[in-house]
Amino acid sequence: MKQTECPINCQHALRVADEICLGRGVRLTSQRRQVLEILCDHHKPMGAYDILDLLKVQLPSAKPPTVYRALDFLLEQGLVHRLESLNAYVGCIHPEHPHASQFLICRDCGEVRELESRNVDRTLDSELKACGFKAESQVIEVTGRCLRCVGQEEL
């Protein structure tokens, strides 16, 4: 199991996003790019209104629909993930290939880690197939306590 903190280097993420959008024939507009950059720069899950507050620094006329439309596009392209339990968004650590999403969410400090486990993917795919179920989205969110917060208990 490969464990990686979310998200990756912002400049790399933006380059990859440009390449993906170009290859798919879709436009990564300046507003969409700014929303992705905000998520990459902040290295934590963010709600749409938190993103809007930061976007308004660069684009004072920005309104909630601006952010929601950008997030919808970024989600469709696999450049960000939505964490349902937090009602928040994070940049994807490996958008260059489609994948099921697995996240560890610390309930104490809020740290979020994206996992890439082929074993989890295979097991879930096998179970879905056995049930005759076609998934449209596969996001697994595990809430608990990170190593750092568990360690603080011992102090």
Consult the annotation and say whether 40 binds a ligand.
no
What phi, psi does 17 have (nearest 5°)?
-60, -45
Consult the annotation and say whether 146 binds a ligand.
yes
Note the Cα 42 to chain centre separation in Å: 12
- Describe the strand order of the beta sheet including 101-106 as a list of residue ranges: 2-5, 112-116, 101-106, 139-144
Tell me which residue has tokens 């005759």. 132
Three-class SS state of 96: coil
State the binding site for Zn(2+).
106, 109, 146, 149
State the binding site.
106, 109, 146, 149
